Structure 1
Amino acid sequence: MASALVNFWNSMWESLLSSLGLGGGKEGTLLLLGLDNAGKTTLLHRLRTGDVKHFPPTDRPYQSDKFSFQGLTFQAWDVGGHEAVRHIWEDYVCECSAVLFLVDATDADRMEEAGFELDALVGEKLVEDIPIAILFNKCDLPEAISSKDICQRMNYDELVENHGADKISAFRISVLRGEGYQQAFRWVASFL
């Protein structure tokens, strides 16, 4: 039943994207970044299989998967988010069409750290023409922080100023419930 529902919604989104001129054979490469435990591997698994599975923080330098989502084909790189691998993020940026930067909306103690890492990435010359979708994950949980508070703690306005309002956007999502990231993909598809 669950996979039938996922297939139904994927079909509906594919029709919508095609009608908007956003589907139809477009391909891109995504770079999934963010601090450890933000939900990058879980999102990638859900996009690839339609199922939700919880994973421990990624302990290897990267994982790559190819998947189709709503009429688009993506090669996605999950490079991991623990501190020891963040220095290699920039090595993957030059090969990507867009960055999905996941933020754990329930982890108030690490918002500034996430903002710092995103600011460092935005400061790289390689990123200046690449769209960055910031995904506030786990927004379905009661302890999730409001978007306004997350943006304030991460200095979102400064990030937009440095990267350009047309190249950076934030989305509230729940990987667990399968909500919100569809809008982020539609936004990303507009750059392909």
Structure 2
Amino acid sequence: MFLINWFYGILSSLGLYHKSGKILFLGLDNAGKTTLLHMLKSDKLGTYQPTQHPNVEELTMGSINFTTIDLGGHLIARRLWLEYLQDDVSAIVFLIDSSDQERFRESKQELDRLLTDDQIGKRPFLVLGNKIDKQGAVSEMYLKGALGLDGLTTGKQGGPTNNRPIEIFMCSIRNQMGFREGFQWLSQYVQ
């Protein structure tokens, strides 16, 4: 409940009290999308089976309504990602397992495919480098370079931009750290 109240407080303080939106949770399989979605919904950590079908959840915090969609990250699911962009999507959250360096190249390919698709336009893009609590997790600077985001990010303070708002935040969903700051950054761009 703490996380829900905290998230509600952030959105309310940023003038998003009566707003609603749709957020896509994307990333390779095993990055933590479903875990994050359930953490935001119930403030509880759990172990979940790989996502086989789109997982749609309504998050209501006060009078703020968000539809979150976890599309899964296995190869077949990734083929459907762009189809969901035809809907009125407010923002994209892209998760990466920061401890699985063998899959950084694959993550970069998927991220590049999304960032160059015209359907996405200038929608805000939050990249979460998850699992920083695991051995082998890389630094933010290393991950930013591996994903080709050097020079493309908006900055942690955010603010007005003529380009697509995009930023990377390192986090551990398991330890409930880092992703709150990412959502705080993202909230200023959700229309």
TM-score, shorter chain, exceeding 0.5: yes
TM-score of the pair, normalised by structure 1:
0.85
Residue 3 of structure 1 aligns with which residue?
none
Local SS of the residue matching 1:106: coil
Closer/same/farther in 2, CA of residues 176 and 69 from structure 1, 3 Å limit: farther
Residue 81, structure 1, aligned to residue 73, structure 2: yes
Number of the residue aligned with 1:185: 183
Letter in 2 for 1:169: E
Unmatched 5+ stretches in structure 1: 1-5
Number of residue-to-residue matches in the alignment? 182
Higher helix fraction: Structure 1 or Structure 2? 1
1:6-38 CA distances to partner (integer Å, 9 max, x unpaired)?
A: 43x54355445433x334122110000000000
Pairing of 1:146-165 with structure 2 (within 5 A): 146-157=139-150, 160=153
| Equivalent residue number for residue 90 of structure 2 | 97
CA, structure 1 residues 49+86, in 2 after alignment: closer, same or farther (shift >3 Å)? Answer: same
TM-score (norm 2): 0.85
For residue 28 of structure 2, the aligned residue among 21, 30, 35 is 35
* 1:160 shift after superposition: 5.0
Q: 1:168 aligns with which of 157, 166, 177?
A: 166
Change (3 A) 1:81 1:177: same
Q: Which amino acid aligns with 1:24?
A: Y
Pairwise mapping of residues 122-161 of structure 1 onto structure 2 (< 5 A)? 122-157=115-150, 160=153
Q: CA RMSD for the aligned pairs? A: 2.2
Match in the other structure for 1:63 = 55
Maintained 8 Å contact 1:14/1:23: no
SS at match of 1:56: coil
- Equivalent-residue separation in structure 1 for 2:84 and 2:4 (angstroms): 28
Q: Distance in 2 between matches of 1:185 and 1:157?
A: 21
Bigger mean CA offset, 48-57 vs 129-138: 48-57
Distance 2:118 2:103 in 1: 25
Structure 2 unaligned spans of 5+: 155-161
Partner of 2:12: 18
Identity of aligned residues (%): 31
Aligned counterparts of 1:11 and 1:89: Cα–Cα separation in 2: 30
Shift of the 44–10 alpha-carbon distance from structure 1 to 2, 3 Å rule, reads: closer
